[in-house]
Amino acid sequence: MTLWLGVGIVGIAVILAIGTNWIGFTNPNEQDLGASLLAPSVAHPFGTDELGRDILTRVLHGARIDLSFGLITTYVSLVIGMFLGALAGYFGGVTDTVLMRVVDTVISFPFIVLILAIASIVGAGLLGAYVGVLVVSWALYARLTRGEMLVLRETQYMMAAETLGLPVRRIIFVHAIPNLLRANLVFSMSDIVLNILTLAALSYLGLGVRPPTAEWGTIIAQGQKYLRTAWWISTLPGIVVVLVGVGFALIGDGLADRLGEDVTGAA
Amino acid sequence: MFAYIGRRIIQAIPVLIIVTLVAFALIHLIPGDPVKIMLASRATPEAIATVRHQLGLDQPLPIQYLRFLGGALRLNFGNSLFLRTSIGPIIAKRAKDSLALLVFSVLVSLVIAVPMAIISAVRRNRPTDHLVRMFSTFAFAMPAFWTGLLLVLFFALRLRLFPTSGLGEGPINYLRSLTLPSITIGFYLAPVLLRSLRASVIETLSAEFVEAARARGLSERRVLFKHVLRNSLIAMITVLGVNVGFLISGAVVIENIFALPGLGSLLVSSILARDYPVIQALTLVFGVTVIVVNLLVDLSYAALDPRVRL
Amino acid sequence: MRKQSEAMEALLLKVDDLTIGFADRRGFLLAANRVSFSVPKDHTLGMVGESGCGKSVTLRSLLGLVPYPGEVIAGSIMWMGRDLRGVSKKKLEQIRGKDISMIFQDPTSCLNPVFSVGDQITEMLRLKLYMSRQKAYARAVELLDRVGIPSPKLRLTDYPHQLSGGMRQRVMIAIAIASQPKLLLADEPTTALDVTIQDQILSLLAEIREETGMSMILVSHDVGVVAQNSDEVAVMYAGYLVERGRAQELLHRPRHPYTQGLLKAIPKIDQVGEGGPLVPIRGQPPNLADLPQGCPFQPRCRFMNEGCSTVSMELNRQEPEHGSACPFVDEGGMR
């Protein structure tokens, strides 16, 4: 049941995000100085900010950025990480040691330093955020997959595949990966949430998306000045973030129950 | 045990060297010249050259790195390029505040997570459990900076119970000023800890020695708190360790909202200003912190579980 | 009237029509079905049967330890005149470990791995017998000595994983007898141990019973172990008690077809070379969700007839000392 609830929430979010322009919320940056700092109303369900921009429109457009960021970073990392982790776990030896050292270094490196460095090199903005998160995210999947592969390798049917003389490529892709996919998929749901939150946090700090682009983090950041008077600018978008996050987390929990996996994603 | 600690310290050295090396390389890849930034409008080529020489920035990179290492071993991190004062005391002061924030936050997260995890596990699949899990899911999805803002809105602005920003003077005000930030971080940590502990307690509750303990007539309370908890804490401690390591620097967002002068914000400002020595020193400090935290986690395993041999 | 209550006094435990069910999608699976037996003072009752026959669950129900989703649905458990089914949780906790103790099959997983042996014994002594710390330690040493653990003082600070399986079982026994219980419940206490150690543990238990007059319910799937260590034996099948009688009597003159099958299927050392081939019981172990009407043993019974589906499964009352649930068969075959 949790699964469908989660799918429902995420589904609505995705549909709204994709179809924003078609349902009439067209311009997130349209200013109307006469209508600045209006409280939520029927005309402006989320109120307006200091420049008279409709917050709801901005949130919807921001959804496109955030949702696509979450999905892309997570699944690209998953593919890369799973592949590398499977190889390391299967072949062991030097491959494994080298990969795991790299993974450990990446994970232990202070994330902020990394992000700031990348942002400074590549230039602040969405690209910097993508690169930064990708550089770190794949490592989590690699570690998870490698752990699973180590266990899987010893199972009977894997050994059977080997004794049958099937080519390595086939063993890994056709036999191992479908099993490894389970744990990774469950974990990916939490990861999507984490990545979206990271982007929002970076944007909030001024390192990810920059104003005036509408993104959940930037909207909340810009509302901070008006917290006392126009609380809705920072507060309401946050609720949207939480709801979407809960949606993904519910999918994760539902999947975990269905697939019998451990939700904590402990490697 | 001391031999073990000694071994860990020795093992840590190569890791620290690599981390600082990578950081050094990375930082110097960033475009932007600190000297130009410092001198701003007065940046004539001669001025730049002079200052660069004064600060030792014209030396080849490897030499700069080695000088840094040499100094670090003597706990002398040199001077900040911008503030021209010794880095050591700056970091020490901020480290103290960051540490206070961290400790307070961990306490808050434990106060939230531990009781909820236990109740949830004991009343598994009943309404209480579902409520707790819902809370956990929501808390997990809340962006930390948003939580912080909400807390400021209610408790600082509306109710005026806590300051909106800055560090207070005197013990009471100091704690008051750390309260909202700690609760914010606590809310961020709690769901992760809760999930891990709950799973752990559920697993332990079905262990045979728990049934045996009940069969001996020990009260349910004793069984839970003495026998079950000790066995379940181990998994949660690992998770706590990982997150604490991250939070030393990662708390920058919170420091930003609450205007707390901590290590995170020092890092951000020094990167923006290309203040190399400070960045190097901080990276080293963070690296050491992660290593110390890992060591503490491993030592606590040994303390909790006699089967673990160091 | 007086004679009856005196008789009741001599009985420590009287279980009547105990029925334990596990909730299942379609209703209840009865792990124990109207089981009745009694245990007087200074007496050992052995319970024997295949895995899943309900003997362990029955044992656990005596202390209120039936695991979720099982529960006691009907019957009474009279302990010294009081029905344990209706008793408060607190009272039950008081009885456990003090009046009735239990030892389990796997001593490894039954001792808390993170506390020392000494801690776990003294915990009992201090909490249940209100001993002071010093007294408790001294008594713990005595107990370890009593159960045959060498260098008991040193063993106090050891952790369970540092001891061998046999030693751990002795520690469990020490913990169980610490408060001199009147009744000891032993759930497969020797199954997980080496054969030579099994013997030692059983002798130890026998000695303790001699010394203290403690009663015991010994559950095992090993007929030999049960027969040699019990005064009375009860045989269970598919949740039903199918036969009960004095040990020697039941061993040599089994009345229920299932008991007969069990005994034929094990080699007897006094019949080496004679007595014919071992005869396993034909058919499959029973599926609690799919039992036939009447007697559950029908599908595997040589003597099955149309009357079997209406058997009430009550132990035949004509001879209260040796009862069988099968009205058609006695020790010589069909009546």
Is B306 in Cβ contact with C114 (below 8 Å)?
yes
pLDDT class of C184 with cuts at 50, 70, 90: very high
Given a cut of 70, whether residue C185 has pLDDT beyond it is yes
CB-closest option in A220, A221, A249 to B140:
A249
The answer as to whether C135 is a domain residue is no
Are the C-beta atoms of residues A148 and A180 closer than 8 Å to each other?
yes
* Strand, coil or helix: A120: helix
B193-207, C6-20, C279-293, range with greatest mean pLDDT: B193-207
Cα–Cα distance measured from residue A215 to residue A195, given in angstroms and rounded to the nearest whole number = 14
**Mean pLDDT value across residues C176-180:** 88
Give the pLDDT mean for A9-32: 77
Mean pLDDT of A221-246: 86
Q: What pLDDT, in 10s, does the model give residues B24-46?
A: 777 777 677 777 777 777 767 88
Size of interface A-B (CB pairs under 8 A): 134
Euclidean distance between CA atoms A106 and C15, whole angstroms = 65
CA–CA gap between residue C209 and residue C44 (Å, rounded): 9
Residues of A in contact with B249 (CB under 8 A): 110-113
Residue C174 is assigned to a structural domain of this protein: no
Q: What is the mean pLDDT of residues C71-99?
A: 87
Q: Is residue C334 over pLDDT 80?
A: no
Retrieve residue C123's tokens: 């915990």
Determine the pLDDT at residue A266: 39
Give pLDDT, residue A265.
40
Distances (CA, A) of A241 to B236, B254, C63: 27, 18, 51
A148 pLDDT higher than 60: yes
Chain A neighbours, 3+ Cβ pairs < 8 A? B
Residues of chain A by 3-state class (helix, strand, coil), percent to 5: 75, 0, 25
Q: What is the mean pLDDT of residues A190-210?
A: 85
Question: If you average pLDDT over residues C206-225, what whole number do you get?
Answer: 90
Tokens of C14: 């009287």
Domains and CATH numbers, chain A: 2-264 (1.10.3720.10)
Which has more pLDDT, A239 or B77? Answer: A239
Q: What is the average per-residue pLDDT within B255-282?
A: 81
The most confident of B48-52, B90-94, B280-284, C212-216, by mean pLDDT = C212-216
B contacts of C176 (beta carbons < 8 Å): 216
Cα dihedral C253, C259, C262, C263, rounded to 10, equals: -10
What CA–CA distance (Å, rounded) separates A47 from A237?
Answer: 11
| Average pLDDT of chain A, as a whole number | 80
Could you give the count of Cα atoms lying within 13 Å of A25 in the half-sphere of its Cβ?
23
ipTM for the predicted complex comes to 0.79
User: Which amino acid is located at A85 in the chain?
Assistant: G
Q: Which of A35-44, A191-200, B76-85, B127-136 has the lowest mean pLDDT?
A: B76-85
Structure tokens at C100: 């009735």
| C4 pLDDT above the threshold of 60 | no
Q: What is the average per-residue pLDDT within C87-113?
A: 86
Q: Is B196 on the interface with C (CB under 8 A)?
A: no
* B107 touches A at CB < 8 Å: no
Query: To 5 degrees, how large is the angle CA B284–CA B286–CA B292?
Result: 100
Of residues A98, A108, A94, the one with CA closest to residue A140: A108
Report CA Rg, chain C.
21
Tokens 């890791």 map to which residue?
B15
Q: What is the pLDDT of residue A158?
A: 67
Whether residue A239 is predicted with pLDDT greater than 50 in this model: the reply is: yes
Torsion sign, CA atoms C303, C308, C313, C314: negative
Q: Which residues contact C37 (CB under 8 A, 6 or more apart)?
A: C15, C45, C234, C241, C244
Distances C162 to A226, B306, C157 between C-alpha atoms, Å: 65, 10, 10
Across the interface, do B212 and C172 touch by the CB < 8 Å criterion?
A: yes
**Given a cut of 70, is residue B9 above it in pLDDT?**
yes
pLDDT of residue C270: 60
> Number of residue pairs across B and C with CB atoms under 8 Å?
71
Whether the predicted pLDDT of B230 surpasses 90? no
Asked if residues C121 and C206 have their Cβ atoms less than 8 Å apart, the reply is no
Residues of B in contact with C97 (CB under 8 A): 215-218
Question: What span, in angstroms and rounded, lies between the C-alpha atoms of C95 and C87?
Answer: 10
Contact status of A133 with chain B (Cβ, < 8 Å): no
Q: What chain B residue is nearest to C101 in terms of C-alpha separation?
A: B216
CA distance C20 to C9: 26
Asked if A32 and A55 count as a contact pair (C-beta separation under 8 A), the reply is: no
Partner-chain contact B305 C172, CB within 8 Å: no
- Could you give the percent of chain C with pLDDT greater than 70? 92
Comparison of pLDDT for A73 and B174, the residue scoring more: A73
Task: Residue A205: list chain B partners with CB under 8 A.
Answer: 252-253, 256, 268
The chains found to touch B (3+ Cβ pairs under 8 angstroms) are A, C
Query: What does the alpha-carbon distance between residue A243 and residue B20 come to, in Å, rounded to a whole number?
Result: 40
Nearest neighbour of A112 by CB, restricted to B19, B250, B272: B250
pLDDT tens digits for range B107-142: 999 999 999 999 998 888 888 998 999 999 999 999
Is residue C217's pLDDT more than 60? Answer: yes
Summarised one tens digit per residue, pLDDT across range C124-138 is 888 888 889 898 999
Q: C93–B218: do the CB atoms touch at under 8 Å?
A: yes
What's the whole-number average pLDDT of chain C? 84
- For B43-83, write each residue's pLDDT tens digit: 678 877 877 777 777 777 777 778 777 777 777 777 777 77
Q: Average per-residue pLDDT in chain B?
A: 82
Question: In this predicted model, what pLDDT tens digit does every residue of C302-317 receive, in sequence order?
Answer: 888 888 888 888 776 5
**C75 in Cβ contact with C14 (< 8 Å):** no
Query: Which pLDDT band, with edges at 50, 70 and 90, does B104 fall under?
Result: very high
The whole-number average pLDDT for the span C81-94 is 86
**B to C contact (≥3 Cβ pairs closer than 8 Å):** yes
We report the CATH number of the domain holding residue C197 as 3.40.50.300
Token readout for B195 is 């999930």
Instruction: Among B217, B230, B231, select the one facing C93 at the smallest CB separation.
Output: B217
Q: Is C114 on the interface with B (CB under 8 A)?
A: yes
Which chains have 3+ CB pairs within 8 A of C? B
| Chain B residues 17-36 within an 8 A CB cutoff of chain A | 18-19, 22-23, 26-27, 29-32
Kindly state the average pLDDT of the residues A162-190: 76
Give the percent of chain A with pLDDT over 90.
7
* A263 pLDDT more than 50: no
Distance CA(C23)–CA(C294), nearest Å, equals 21
Write down the pLDDT at residue A267: 32
pLDDT at A117 over 50: yes
B209, B214, B217 ranked by CB distance to C109: nearest: B209
DSSP-derived pairing of the beta strands C82-83 and C11-24? unpaired
Closest partner residue to A121 among B31, B141, B246, by Cβ?
A: B31
* Contact between residue C113 and residue C100 where contact means Cβ atoms under 8 Å apart: no
Q: Kindly state the percentage of chain B with pLDDT values over 70.
A: 98
For residue C283, tell me if it sits in a domain.
yes
- Considering only alpha carbons, which residue of chain B is nearest residue A262? B199
Check residue C54 and give left, alpha or beta (phi > 0: left; psi -120 to 50: alpha).
left
C226: in domain: yes
Span C248-269, pLDDT tens digits: 888 888 888 888 888 877 666 6
| Residue B52 confidence (pLDDT) | 77
For residue A170, what is the enclosing H or E element? helix A168-170
Q: What is the pLDDT of residue C273?
A: 59
In a domain, C243, yes or no: yes
Chains A and C touch (3+ CB pairs under 8 A): no
C308 is in which domain, residue-wise? Answer: 2-99+179-324
Q: Reduce the DSSP state of residue A54 to 3 states and report it.
A: strand
Answer whether residue C32 is part of any domain.
yes
Please answer yes or no on whether B215 and C114 come within 8 Å at the CB atom: no
User: Smallest Cβ distance to C127: which of B218, B231, B304?
Assistant: B218
For C136-169, the pLDDT digits (tens) are: 999 999 999 989 899 888 888 888 888 888 888 9
| Chain B residues whose beta carbon lies within 8 Å of the beta carbon of residue A105 | 18-19, 22
| Gap between the terminal Cα atoms of chain B | 7
CA distance B234 to B244: 15
Taking Cα atoms as reference points, which of B31, B16, B3, B197 lies closest to residue B115?
Answer: B197
CA distance C329 to C255: 6
% pLDDT > 90, chain B: 12
The answer to the question of residue C162 being in a domain is no
**CA-to-CA distance for C271 and C279, rounded, in angstroms?**
14
Is the CB of B217 inside 8 Å of chain C's CB atoms? Answer: yes
Which of A25-29, C229-233, C235-239 has the lowest average pLDDT?
Answer: A25-29
Task: Tell me which DSSP letter residue A40 carries.
Answer: P
The CA distance from A108 to C195, in Å, is: 52
Tens of pLDDT, residue by residue over B153-206, are 888 777 777 777 777 777 888 888 888 889 999 998 999 899 889 988 888 888
Q: Helical H runs in B142-219?
A: 144-151, 170-205, 208-215
Of residues B15, B145, B196, nearest to A264 (C-beta): B196
Please indicate, yes or no, if residue C247 is contained in any of the structural domains.
Answer: yes
The pLDDT value given to residue C228: 87
Q: Is the dihedral of CA C44, C45, C48, C54 positive or negative?
A: negative
Q: Two tokens at B69?
A: 């290492």
Residues of C in contact with B220 (CB under 8 A): 89, 93
Residue C172 burial (CB count, 10 A): 26
Question: How many Å apart are CA C229 and CA B74, to the nearest integer?
Answer: 75
Start-to-end C-alpha separation, chain A:
27
Give me the number of domains chain C comprises: 1
Task: Establish if C272 touches chain B: CB-CB under 8 angstroms.
Answer: no
Q: Residue A12 CB: number of other CB atoms within 10 A?
A: 13
Write a three-state SS string for chain C.
CHHHHHHHHHEEEEEEEEEEEEEECCEEEEEEEEEEEEEECCCEEEEECCCCCCHHHHHHHHCCCCCCCEEEEEEEEEECCEEHHHCCHHHHHHHECCCEEEECCCHHHHCCCCCCHHHHHHHHHHHHCCCCHHHHHHHHHHHHHHCCCCCHHHHCCCCHHHCCHHHHHHHHHHHHHCCCCCEEEEECCCCCCCHHHHHHHHHHHHHHHHHHCCEEEEEECCHHHHHHHCCEEEEEECCEEEEEEEHHHHHHCCCCHHHHHHHHCCCCHHHCCCCCCCCCCCCCCCCHHHCCCCCCCHHHCCCCCHHHHHCCCCCCCCCCCEEECCCCEECCEEC
Average pLDDT, stretch A125-152? 85
